[in-house]
Structure 1
């Protein structure tokens, strides 16, 4: 039925499936609020049953059963091996292997099979939950002096019951497209601990997120068909001048991202209906506890770090807390983190091209912040700080659109062909900036020249 409906509308069947799941989360979240606060077990069961039914109806019974088997396997892996150093790696590895199998089916073996039901997005969210849970349980067995502040806050000292763990795994808010919240976040919410004892009205923030999500759908649907990275493989693109090509990919990038913005904002809105999107930090109320994307931060970033910090925030936090921080070799931290990020998405060569080339982009961004930014803050060029910010905005926008174009195109050949038509400018510029400021010492020279001696900070 879903396939027939998708064919009638002329859209991909995956779009219909996830639209049904995303909007079903609103009544599910609303009904959850009627469960008595002391019926904790009922709350867990409610998540398991509602997510299970929708997965079976919209996707397939097989997909839900496979996810359930993995959840059981991860749970008992932590029961028996959490205290060992290899325990969290074992849990991480099991989830990663399962997800890789699903990606291989969706992207290689059965990519063109119309009967195949792709549920990899749910598995990607579940991987984050399973791996972070495994590390948090292991952190609960370690000495407090060995943990940082984040690990202390989210460590799990007492192993939860199986029903509680399954309730977390299949929690309806974020189950399909994220965000993948930490287990302790879920536990505080379900048990109504701390700020969750009295959740204020979330109608305003919910409507704001929902409207923004719907606006993004309209933009992507109406305008996105005219500006899309997929069109860069046609003669229409190659006939353009270099300036026109650069302008086109920057416009297209906005509407390509609009699709992701819309999905995450709608998911965020449903999380505000249940209240899990509410939080209090340092006595200040927040309604962004389930925010997976900060649209303003991404689209108006002044450097690559700001853009990446605002994009897919919960996944970025997972990569930082459970990959980057856990890698002991400093030289391996950044490359391995980007590699795992690409691997998390799947096996298309374009993913790896985008994420691995993010390494020199981030390094160039760090070099600029270290050597040039101080000149415009405490140096003699401070009056031109707005000019620096404007250049940073355009440079960041162009760099990200250039480097992440292969992520959408997916193939190595088409990506290189388009990059070549633009003289690899988006790759060469970050490398030139990095080498000039650090290797050749231009950064130190600029700081000496433009920062007064009494204001210098090394």
Structure 2
């Protein structure tokens, strides 16, 4: 038995999860080595070789011979970019179809009832990175006047060498769980554009500390409320209020699992000086350029839209830039939103739970917008002065929103975690399908009110399915 298996057994965790954690933590000594030995070397090829070697080694440590999947994908993109650069539309089409097709085949042959830590996990990150890279190369062939501000910041006039592309794709703290970033950020970093700014190590270690805290809370919470508990008769026999709150707290603990991984990765990227964003309001260097979770909004938010805006931020931004905005020629936001939603669902895999989760997100955010319109246009103008002066109302308002925030997070995340229809429908049944019922009741009341009393002012922008799509209209 190899060392990692023995250590994982001693820690009482699956060996795949142990290797994942070790790989994320490895980003910190790699950052220290780079800053101590590599950063001042004038030969940039040594920088690229260092990152390519470290990333490939970590990938092999996790997935062994399955590393060939990512090597093949990167090689195909490199060949396509150089062979078909003169025909950008063909290059983009072939590149997109190859990467999505390869990823979906991987899902088909490896999928199970659980969220597996297999080679497909980093490959879904790589798929977006290579597709985005193809778009950036194509944008580099266009006149600057025809590019948006975002496109001009990521466009590539000259494609990188194969070593540079390997280093970008396998960047040690970014290839496994994200975050997404364009090649131009990697290029600016290796060129030394961020080196003159201070504070990256302190910012990174703080992020690491937050990651450790979230991981501890996650482990303690899921030890008390494990996934399989919600499939048992014991859970279904609890009081209804207990059931929905148990499900809600379980969802928060489950989110913390993802958040801790992102915080570890982001902290390592900060420590190496990769995440420079500019200067903040106080004029200090801002190292949040690769932030994948907005912790303050996540913890203080009261609606599902707050969750959407604060979670998996970089992936959402990627979808906005490379899917939603690229469909502007359709001149129909509804179709663009549907395409963005459909792409995200397909990118996650075949399981019905993913599609139900995105559908629920859309429905709940739409319902929230309707309730907010009624509240701000109908209730506050009539009773705002009385309500704002009532401490009892303020307390009830806060408690109600927080309870809603917790309870509906459990409802939304259920299908995303349990994946198979037979599993997530069992949990939905155990909580009496409350998420469907309350939204149906609200829809009847809202549309009945519009029909018999009058239509409140309409929100002309459809509800976004992800924070990116919302940001894409800014």
Normalised by the length of structure 1, the TM-score is 0.87
Q: Which residue of 2 aligns with 1:354?
A: 357
Q: Which residue of 1 aligns with 2:288?
A: 288
In 1, the alpha carbon distance for the partners of 2:84 and 2:279 equals 34
In 2, the alpha carbon distance for the partners of 1:54 and 1:294 equals 27
Answer yes or no: is the 8 Å Cα contact 1:220–1:259 preserved in 2: yes
Q: Which residue of 2 aligns with 1:456?
A: none
- Displacement after TM superposition at 1:343 (Å): 2.4
- Displacement after TM superposition at 1:394 (Å): 3.4
In 2, the alpha carbon distance for the partners of 1:140 and 1:403 equals 40
Gaps of 5+ in 1: 449-458
Residues 432, 134 of structure 1: alpha-carbon distance in 2 compared, 3 angstrom cutoff: farther
- Displacement after TM superposition at 1:412 (Å): 0.7
- Secondary structure at the aligned position of 1:69 is classed as helix
Q: Give CA-to-partner distance per residue, 1:306-346, whole Å, 9 cap, x none.
A: 21121011111112222222333533333332332232222
Gaps of 5+ in 2: 389-393, 459-474
2:33 pairs with 1:31: yes
Residues 429, 65 of structure 1: alpha-carbon distance in 2 compared, 3 angstrom cutoff: same
Q: Give CA-to-partner distance per residue, 1:39-86, whole Å, 9 cap, x none.
A: 3211111111111122223320x2223211210111221223344334
Q: Give CA-to-partner distance per residue, 1:389-424, whole Å, 9 cap, x none.
A: 664443333223202111111221221122123232
Q: Which residue of 1 aligns with 2:467?
A: none
**Cα RMSD (Å):** 2.8
Summarize the alignment of residues 201-216 of structure 1 with structure 2, pairs less than 5 Å apart: 201-216=199-214
In 2, the alpha carbon distance for the partners of 1:270 and 1:380 equals 51
In 2, the alpha carbon distance for the partners of 1:117 and 1:445 equals 49
Q: Give CA-to-partner distance per residue, 1:131-183, whole Å, 9 cap, x none.
A: 11111222222344443322222222222222222221111121111112111
Q: Which residue of 2 aligns with 1:92?
A: 96
Q: Which residue of 2 aligns with 1:17?
A: 19
- Displacement after TM superposition at 1:26 (Å): 1.0
2:271 pairs with 1:270: no
Q: Which has the higher contact order (CA 8 A, sep 6+)?
A: 2
In 2, the alpha carbon distance for the partners of 1:306 and 1:7 equals 38
Summarize the alignment of residues 34-433 of structure 1 with structure 2, pairs less than 5 Å apart: 34-35=37-38, 36=40, 38-60=42-64, 62-82=65-85, 83-108=87-112, 118-193=118-193, 196-280=194-278, 285-327=285-327, 328=330, 329-373=332-376, 381=384, 384=387, 391-433=400-442
Q: How many residues align?
A: 440
Residues 59, 414 of structure 1: alpha-carbon distance in 2 compared, 3 angstrom cutoff: closer
Answer yes or no: is the 8 Å Cα contact 1:91–1:131 preserved in 2: yes
Answer yes or no: is the 8 Å Cα contact 1:372–1:447 preserved in 2: no
Normalised by the length of structure 2, the TM-score is 0.84
Deviates more, 1:242-251 or 1:348-357: 348-357
Answer yes or no: is the 8 Å Cα contact 1:47–1:170 preserved in 2: yes
In 1, the alpha carbon distance for the partners of 2:397 and 2:191 equals 48
Answer yes or no: is the 8 Å Cα contact 2:414–2:427 preserved in 1: no
Answer yes or no: is the 8 Å Cα contact 2:203–2:271 preserved in 1: no
Residues 373, 388 of structure 1: alpha-carbon distance in 2 compared, 3 angstrom cutoff: farther
In 1, the alpha carbon distance for the partners of 2:217 and 2:313 equals 22
- Secondary structure at the aligned position of 1:272 is classed as helix
Answer yes or no: is the 8 Å Cα contact 1:154–1:182 preserved in 2: yes
